[in-house]
Structure 1
Amino acid sequence: MLGFLQRIGKALMLPIATLPAAALLLRLGQPDLLNIPFIASAGNAIFANLPIIFAIGIAIGFAKDNNGAAGLAGAIGYFVLSAGVQALNKEVNLDALGGIVTGVIAGLLYNRFHTIKLPDWLAFFGGRRFVPIITSAAMIVLAFIFGFVWPGVQHAFALLGTWMYDLGAFGAALYGMLNRLLLPLGLHHVINTLIWFQFGDYHGAHGEITRFFKHDPSAGLFLSGYFPIMMFGLPAACLAMIAAAKPHKRKAVSGMLIGIAFTSFLTGVTEPIEYSFMFLSPLLYGIHALLTASSMAVSYLLGIHAGFGFSAGAIDFFLNFRIAQKPILLIVQGLIYGGIYFIVFYSLIKRLHLKTPGREDDDDTIENNQNGFKKITSDDKYAVIAAQFIQDLGGVSNITSVDNCTTRLRLTVQDSQLADEHALKKHGAHGVVKLNKKNIQVIVGTNVEFVADSMKNQLKSPFDLSQVSANLDIENKPSNVTLTTNLGHLAFSSPLKGNLLNLEEVPDQVFSQKMMGEGFAIDPKDGIVISPINGKVTSVFPTKHAIGLLSDDGLEILIHIGIDTVNLKGEGFTVYVKEGEYITKGDILITFNLDEIKDKVPSVITPIIFTNLPENKHITLEQTEEVDLKEIIQIM
Structure 2
Amino acid sequence: MMNFIQRIGKSLMFPIATLPAAALLLRLGQPDLLNVPLIAAAGDGIIGNLALIFAIGIAMGFAHDNSGGAALAGAVGFLVLTSALKAVDESINMGVFGGIISGIVAGVLYNRFYNIKLPDFLAFFGGRRFVPIVTAAAMTVLAGVLFFAWPPIQHVIDSIGNWVLGAGTLGVGAYGFLNRLLIPTGLHHVINTVVWFDFGTFTDASGEVVKGEINRFLKGDPTAGPFLSGFFPIMMFGLPAACLAMYAAAKKEKKAIVGGMLFSIAFTSFLTGITEPIEFAFMFLSPVLYVVHALLTGASMIVSYMFDVHHGFGFSAGAIDYVLNYGLAQNPLTLLVIGLVFGVIYFVVFYFLIVKLDLKTPGREDDEDMVEDTAVYSDDIVEVKAYHTIEALGGLDNIQAIDYCTTRLRLTVKNSDVVDEKELKRYGAMGYMKISKTNVQVVIGTAVEFLAEAMKRRMKNGNPAPKTEESMELDTQPHSVKALPESDFHMPIDGDIIELSEVPDEVFAKEMMGPGFGIMPKGKTIHSPIDGKVVSVFPTNHAIGLETDTGVEVLIHVGLDTVKLNGKGFELLVENGQLIQRGDALLNIDLDYIKANAPSVVTPVIFTNVEKANLHILKKGFQRKGTDSIVKVDE
Q: TM-score range by the shorter chain?
A: 0.3 to 0.5
Larger Rg: 1
TM-score using structure 1 length: 0.41
